[in-house]
Amino acid sequence: MQPPYTQAKQQYKEQNINTDETLQTLAHTPISIHCWQGDDVTGNEPNPTTGGGILATGNYPGKARNINELWMDLEKVIELAPGPKRVNIHAMYGEYTVDRDKIQPESFDGWIEWAKQQKVKLDFNATLFAHPQAETGFTLSSKDPETRRFWVEHVKRCREAADYIGRKQGSPCIHNLWIPDGMKDTAIDKYGYRKHLKESLDTIYATKYSHIKDSIESKLFGLASESYVVGSHDFYLGYAIQNNLLPCLDLGHYHPTESVADKITAILQYTPELMLHISRGVRWDSDHVPIMNDQTTEVFHELIRSKTLDRVHIALDYFDASINRIGAWVTGIRSTQKALLYALLEPTPELIKLEEQGKYFERLALLEEQKTMPMGAVYDHYCSTNNVPVGTGWIREVQEYEKQVLSKR
């Protein structure tokens, strides 16, 4: 009997798909792993607080209690998922004792050093939540000038730090901005808050840097911003187009039946690049562990079919504190890669031909046939050539790590 990969390769070849080339593309597509799955978005500040629209539910034992444990856990995660990775950090994970409007680029030297050892590049997020100055529910759009000044200054310093990181690592660092601003109940002066937000952004982005790419992330609603979100999709889309920034689309930040996939080729007519936060919305929560479902596969189909993969940055964003955190992390990474691989293994030229000929039954049937093609054998081959556990092997490794390390915390 032929090995499964040889068989799969042959089967895909019959559809004019070269699986080796496909895996090359996968091997050149980095996924930016968020650091905050490891400690339920706690961060590394001296007096951590929670709140500000973000909440990790659950209390599964073994959470990283400090930055060294977080690094150690991330190293395990990096080991268990194949392919190129970046690591996405938040300002609150820096090593500093000052307030957030005073942080310095050097506070991230530890991360830069660690990333170098791990052969990963870093991305960055300003942290405008879990802080006393964010307790009113408003930051950059606040009506209080001092609150606005504080957060504008924080984001300015974050962009400076991200530029420092980008320069040191020789690869642009994406600086993403998400703010929790909004209201639980009916807001009246929606225009006023949005005007403040626009002015704050104008001040922030007036400084140009050459080693960062700026992305801005919208949301539909959040904890305590159920009725009104200042930084809505329309707000940031307009701002991004007008100012040549990257919109950041988080898969959990839209109406459940709204297709994020469909937005991609619409937006890319107007912005050079965009940023994705791969997540999974479940009812009110936007941050469940991503799985390979219609939502994720459709997003990647869209990127492959439109040949825009190189214009889109793939980052992860979820936090589940109710299951083994390393397991949650790795599940999301591997599922994201599988969704991408599934899209890469599609006979797109053939489907386009059928579409142009008006052969819509054939288009639908061919699409459905893809679902039972042997993609698993191709992914397993990718794992084995990357020296990562094949198939379910990684689950046992997570269990072992839990026994040896996590259960002792």
Residues annotated as catalytic are: 178, 217, 219, 250, 253, 277, 285, 287, 317
Q: Which stretch in 43-51, 125-133, 317-325, 373-381 sits in contact with Zn ion by CB under 5 A? A: 317-325
Q: How far is the CB of 123 from ligand RNT (least distance, A)?
A: 11
The Cα–Cα gap between 201 and 141 comes to: 9
Site string for ligand RNT, 41-80 (x = CB under 6 A): x------------x--------------------------
Q: How many contiguous H segments (helices) and E segments (strands) does the chain have?
A: 14, 12
Which of the choices Zn ion, ligand RNT, none does residue 219 contact, using the CB cut-off of 5 to 8 A by kind?
Answer: ligand RNT
DSSP 344-367: HTS-HHHHHHHHHTT-HHHHHHHH
Min dist CB 336 to ligand RNT, Å, is 15
User: Which DSSP symbol is given to 222?
Assistant: B
In whole angstroms, how close is the CB of 222 to Zn ion at the nearest point? 10
List 317, 320, 346, 402, residue binding Zn ion (CB under 5 A): 317
DSSP designation for 253? S
Q: Kindly write down the DSSP assignment for every residue of 114-180, as one continuous string.
A: HHHHHT-EEEEE---SSSGGGTTS-STT-SSHHHHHHHHHHHHHHHHHHHHHHHHHTSPEEEEE---
Stretch touching Zn ion by CB under 5 A, among 76-84, 311-319, 328-336, 378-386: 311-319
Phi-psi region of 186 (alpha: psi -120 to 50; beta: other; left: phi over 0): beta
Work out which of 12, 36, 124, 193 binds ligand RNT, going by CB under 6 A: 36
| Minimum CB distance to ligand RNT, residue 90 (Å) | 6
Q: What angle do CA 73, 96, 324 make, to 5 degrees?
A: 20
Site string for ligand RNT, 343-382 (x = CB under 6 A): ----------------------------------------
Scanning 152-160, 194-202, 216-224, 295-303 for contacts with ligand RNT by CB under 6 A, the matching segment is: 216-224
Angstrom distance (rounded) from CA 216 to CA 205: 11
In the bound state, the residue with its beta carbon closest to ligand RNT is 178
- Write the DSSP symbol of residue 289: P
As a whole number of angstroms, the distance between CA 162 and CA 175 comes to 6
Beta strands in 17-108 (DSSP E): 31-34, 85-90
C-beta of 22 vs 218, nearer to ligand RNT: 218
Name which position in 131, 277, 301, 363 contacts Zn ion (CB under 5 A): 277
Site for ligand RNT in 150-189 (CB under 6 A): 178
CA distance 128 to 195: 18
Please list, in sequence order, all residues whose beta carbon lies within 8 angstroms of the beta carbon of residue 195, skipping any fewer than 6 positions away. Answer: none
Tell the smallest beta-carbon distance from residue 28 to ligand RNT (Å).
25
Determine, following the binding rule CB under 6 A, whether residue 123 of this chain makes contact with ligand RNT.
Answer: no
Minimum CB separation of residue 41 from ligand RNT in Å reads 6
List 39, 123, 181, 217, residue binding ligand RNT (CB under 6 A):
217
Stretch that binds Zn ion, among 9-17, 249-257, 356-364, 396-404 (CB under 5 A): 249-257
Cα 276 to chain center, whole Å? Answer: 6
> Which residues in the 276-335 window bind ligand RNT by CB under 6 A?
277, 286, 317
CA distance 277 to 268: 16
**Which residues 6+ apart lie within 8 Å of 108 measured at CB?**
89, 94, 95, 122, 161, 164, 165
Only segment of 32-40, 167-175, 226-234, 271-279 that touches Zn ion (CB under 5 A): 271-279
The residues that touch ligand RNT, with contacts defined as CB under 6 A, are 36, 41, 54, 125, 178, 217, 219, 222, 250, 277, 286, 317
Residues near Zn ion, by CB under 5 A: 250, 277, 317
